[in-house]
Structure 1
Amino acid sequence: MNSDVPTATLAAVTTGRRRTELRTLPVPPVGANEGLLRVDAAGVCGSDVVAYDKEGLPERVMGHENVGRIAALGEVAARRWGVAVGDRVVVEEYLPCGHCHFCRGSEFRLCLGSDPSHDPDALRYGTTALARAPGLWGGFSQYLRLHERSVLHAVPDAVPDPHAAMALPIANGYEWAYREGGAGPGKAVVVIGPGQQGLGCVIGAHAAGAPVIVAAGRRGDRHRLEVARRLGATHTVCVDDTDLVDEVAAITGGAMADLVIDTAAGSAAVVNQSIALARKRGTLVSAVSAGVPLDGVDFGLLSRKYLTVRGVRGHSYQAVEHALALMASGRYPVQEMSSLTVGLDGVHEAILATAGESGGEVIHATVLPWHGLPD
């Protein structure tokens, strides 16, 4: 089942806080249960920004929003995944065990075997250490090892590689807005934070049929708010210029929002604002991690409003399938989210640009591992 398997790959290795260097890494033989992906595009996630700024993490190849073509494939893996050499696929970041309670219940994104926050040795694309054989655990590389626990999705021909690399953040938005948040006809939705995840929520809410979608951001988010309009937001609010609670009250005739999705940096002020934005019996979806306990959250108002609060993280298999279908439909100008493409020598630049440190308007950056190099 194998094509000509390369013996080495060029990769961008994260060696420390805000440090990346290009290295040539060995590509081991492909076993019967495994595969090898020729990476054509790898997206930069907001979580990459956070991880890239941390001290003490092991050397690793980052990149978990990966799309490419299968370059080599073991016989057992071919039967399990239903794919062949040459097929173009999106690879989820999760490497679920397949047999725990969560995996058996189709919630494999919660599998503890793929959760580094539970187990530092857990396997996950983009975070697993280079020292963990075979080391090819991230998409900022020409080749990615397809572990036997990989989760794959076929990519429609109508979706170009840089757009397919956005399948996971758009899937997150669909998961949080619709599957977890219940967005739909008759529902007013507020999305706080117009980054790639927040814009995915706008798409998800619009695709679900929500008639009122308010995207909120800061003064530096003006371009992102303009994109939010084109992706389906009915209203946009700059919170530096306008009181968001008053604005949503005016938009909804005082009824407030059925669903509030917080994708902004976690703070007590934003959580309290989210509670204030929600109507009684409304839903608050929190997709942020402040990293520290938050003091000053108004739990009394949370109770008085009978709110449903959902902490969310990641996406389901179904959400990724739906995201790819939405992109293939051409219904949404997702190309406007694709702001920057770089080669492997631009990984450092792409991560900092995603963090807002480049001075440009970057929503989603994509690494093209073969850019400027011979195939």
Structure 2
Amino acid sequence: MTISAEALVLTGPNTLERRSFDVPDITNDTARLRIEACGLCGTDHEQYSGHISAPFSFIPGHEIIGVIDEIGPDAAAQWGVEAGDRVAVEVFRSCRQCEQCASGNYRRCIRNGLATMFGFVDAAIEPSLWGGYATHLHLPADSMLLPIPDQLDPVLATVFNPLGAGIRWAATIPNTKSGDVVAILGPGIRGLCAAVAAKEAGAEFVAMTGLGPRDADRLEMAKRFGVDLTIDVAVDDPAVALKRATGGLADVVVDVTAKAPAAFAQAVSLARPGGTVVVAGTRGGGGTPGFDPDHVVYKELTIKGSLGVDFHAYQAAIDLLVAERWPFAELTRQVAGFDDLPALLDVLSGVDQDAIPPLHGVFSPQG
């Protein structure tokens, strides 16, 4: 019997079309996932608005949680899961054979990389089910899965992606250690997750920046996620505010802002001499107002860029969610189904200026 899947296909800016697709039969090394929830991040609404464009139509969504409907024996052995198991899907795929994959840098897999990441693959490539805005996802042999404990709600479990990002950006990459002062630019869900990661790594003091009234509630919420100092950069110079609070500057600065060209200059100003700046948010072009490269030299800064997360950070994120040490369940959250998703993406992208975006947006086929 042929199984049919429903999906939203992005065919152009602000245009999602609901389509039906035949779900392929499972082979020895593939599986079929029944999608329960897919978290929304900045990439989602940038794709939707056309800020990130592609010359093809595709099913967006890459923060995917679901249940294995059917799985081949070789796939079950490789992934260590079976039908009925709830799993998180790694965004990137890995051939597990090339030099990059063998070294753990599977985001640079010579057969995959950005070209096959879930949520950004041409829907004309069969079987088309390559994204999370759907009822089902096709899992080829080079997929990577992480088991999700039964007690973790699937909507909350989608936080595995931004929390994994926070762990990698604010702890692993800068090697944050006990006693460090950490400054985080951007009070979105990834900023909050970065704050948690910094505190879990032993940071003594965490500061976070936001901009204006639309960030006021987020900065207030940040205090429950380990942030010791919140700074509205529309009112205060962040470096001055941090010095006033701690007597110095930050050992680690994590910039998770998106489409905020001036933020990088603020990151450099917040870092102490010999400090580390991690740049994880994209600027969207347009240069970097206020940035003076000489300060990188004078301060002897280490500046590191980060593309995505990795498997180890995702696993640590799942463990942290299960531990319930932080109030992720209490984030402002909106769950949308097929009919409501475009309106939620309008709110997240800022098209709807009258609505305050939730910290956590989620698509669910069930609505």
Q: Considering the TM-score relative to the shorter chain, is it more than 0.5?
A: yes
Which residue of structure 2 lines up, in the alignment, with residue 22 of structure 1?
18
Pairs within 5 Å for 1:270-349: 270-292=263-285, 294=287, 297-337=291-331, 339-349=333-343
- CA-to-aligned-CA distance 1:183-220 (integer Å, 9 cap, x gap): 23110000001112211111111111211001110111
Q: Report the CA distance between 1:46 and its aligned residue.
A: 0.7
Please tell me whether residue 197 in structure 1 is matched to residue 190 in structure 2. yes
Which residue of structure 1 lines up, in the alignment, with residue 350 of structure 2?
356
Residue 153 of structure 1 aligns with an amino acid whose one-letter code is L
Runs of 4+ in 1 over 4 A off after TM superposition: none
> For residues 87 and 332 of structure 2, what CA distance do their matches in structure 1 show?
19
Residue 161 of structure 1 aligns with an amino acid whose one-letter code is P
> For residues 325 and 334 of structure 2, what CA distance do their matches in structure 1 show?
22
Give 2:43's match in structure 1, choosing from 47, 51, 59: 47
Residue 293 of structure 2 aligns with an amino acid whose one-letter code is F
Q: Report the CA distance between 1:11 and its aligned residue.
A: 1.0
Which residue of structure 2 lines up, in the alignment, with residue 173 of structure 1?
166
Q: Is the 8 A contact 2:45 2:349 kept in 1?
A: yes
- CA-to-aligned-CA distance 1:212-254 (integer Å, 9 cap, x gap): 001110111111112211111111111112221110111121x
Question: TM-score under structure 1 normalisation?
Answer: 0.92
Please tell me whether residue 139 in structure 1 is matched to residue 135 in structure 2. no
Q: Report the CA distance between 1:307 and its aligned residue.
A: 0.7
Compared with structure 1, are the counterparts of its residues 258 and 67 closer, same or farther at alpha carbon in structure 2 (3 Å cutoff)?
same
Q: Is the 8 A contact 1:6 1:27 kept in 2?
A: yes
Q: Report the CA distance between 1:44 and its aligned residue.
A: 0.8
> For residues 263 and 106 of structure 1, what CA distance do their matches in structure 2 show?
23
Between 7-16 and 86-95, report the one with greater CA deviation: 7-16
Give 1:209's match in structure 2, choosing from 202, 209, 212: 202
> For residues 220 and 116 of structure 2, what CA distance do their matches in structure 1 show?
38
Q: Report the CA distance between 1:57 and its aligned residue.
A: 3.5
Q: Is the 8 A contact 1:32 1:73 kept in 2?
A: yes
- CA-to-aligned-CA distance 1:120-142 (integer Å, 9 cap, x gap): xx211000011011000011111
Please tell me whether residue 94 in structure 1 is matched to residue 88 in structure 2. no
Pairs within 5 Å for 1:225-304: 225-253=219-247, 255-265=248-258, 269-292=262-285, 294=287, 297-304=291-298
- CA-to-aligned-CA distance 1:330-356 (integer Å, 9 cap, x gap): 101112335100112222122222223
Gaps of 5+ in 2: none
Between 7-16 and 167-176, report the one with greater CA deviation: 7-16
Which residue of structure 2 lines up, in the alignment, with residue 9 of structure 1?
5
SS at match of 2:45: helix
Which residue of structure 2 lines up, in the alignment, with residue 163 of structure 1?
156
- CA-to-aligned-CA distance 1:147-189 (integer Å, 9 cap, x gap): 1111100112232111111111110011000000222311000
Q: Is the 8 A contact 1:12 1:345 kept in 2?
A: no
> For residues 242 and 6 of structure 1, what CA distance do their matches in structure 2 show?
60
Q: Report the CA distance between 1:146 and its aligned residue.
A: 0.8
The CA RMSD over aligned residues, in Å, is 1.7
> For residues 56 and 280 of structure 1, what CA distance do their matches in structure 2 show?
41
Task: Work out the number of aligned pairs and report it.
Answer: 361
- CA-to-aligned-CA distance 1:69-99 (integer Å, 9 cap, x gap): 1001011111111110000000011012222
Pairs within 5 Å for 1:59-74: 59-74=57-72
Which residue of structure 2 lines up, in the alignment, with residue 119 of structure 1?
none
> For residues 265 and 342 of structure 1, what CA distance do their matches in structure 2 show?
23
Q: Is the 8 A contact 2:65 2:87 kept in 1?
A: yes
Q: Report the CA distance between 1:111 and its aligned residue.
A: 2.6
Between 58-67 and 296-305, report the one with greater CA deviation: 296-305
Compared with structure 1, are the counterparts of its residues 215 and 112 closer, same or farther at alpha carbon in structure 2 (3 Å cutoff)?
farther
Q: Report the CA distance between 1:306 and its aligned residue.
A: 1.0
- CA-to-aligned-CA distance 1:273-329 (integer Å, 9 cap, x gap): 211111111000001222437366322110111111100121111100110111111
> For residues 8 and 338 of structure 1, what CA distance do their matches in structure 2 show?
33
> For residues 29 and 45 of structure 1, what CA distance do their matches in structure 2 show?
31
SS at match of 2:36: strand
Instruction: Give aligned-pair identity as a percent.
Output: 31
